[in-house]
Amino acid sequence: MKIFLIGFMGSGKSTVGVDLAHILGYRFIDLDEYIEQKHNLSIKLIFETKGEDYFRMIENETLKEVCSFEGDFVISSGGGTSCFYNNIDYMNRNGITVYLRAEVSTLVARLIESKVDRPLLWGKTKDELNEYIIRVLNERKKYYEKAQVIIDADNANPKDLAQLIISTV
């Protein structure tokens, strides 16, 4: 069984994913970390030196690679993984998809702290970040909302969210 966590940057996919995998006794893969290890380059450097299209291509390839692994996994995807190359349909065919839905205000508050590690957010002021999230979330939600399970991820702590996912899937 594979459980895919999807959703915008800052929605808590990686944190919740670790707890979820731990409780279920599944293995955990963070797709961004897996890409960094495989290519021996940080996501930052991949964007900087090769550009976003290249990143999307290897992100897509890596998703297919981890899906070929035998066994039970919780896979925390990147915020864009499910929105390119029809990946949401691929994920729906290959496991259970869980969208961690969060309000724009929650995402802004979290991402203002951690934008340095996220190339798409570099150099943005708080207002620009707010506008960016509204616009991109609006473009992406048609993909995110194809998930089989939708969980509101604004207020609960990661362990409670993991329990909520278990009780829902």
Q: How far is the CB of 80 from ligand S3P (least distance, A)?
A: 3
- Rounded Cα distance, 161 and 56, in Å: 28
The reply to whether 41 sits near ligand S3P by the rule CB under 6 A is: no
Compute the half-sphere exposure of residue 46: CA atoms within 13 Å on the CB side of its CA. Answer: 22
Residue 99 pairs with which residues in a beta bridge? Answer: 6, 150
The reply to whether 78 sits near ligand S3P by the rule CB under 6 A is: yes
Number of chain residues interacting with ligand S3P (CB under 6 A): 10
The reply to whether 32 sits near ligand S3P by the rule CB under 6 A is: yes
CA-nearest of 32, 91, 92, 42 to 62 is 32
Please report where in the chains the tokens 């349909």 appear, as a residue: 89
Question: Applying CB under 6 A, which part among 19-27, 64-72, 75-83, 141-149 lies near ligand S3P?
Answer: 75-83
By the 10 Å C-beta count (0-12 exposed, 13-18 middle, 19+ buried), 78 is classed as: buried
Q: Print the binding letters for residues 90-119 with ligand S3P: x by CB under 6 A, - otherwise.
A: ----------------------------xx
Residue numbers at the binding site for ligand S3P (CB under 6 A): 9, 13, 32, 43, 78-80, 118-120
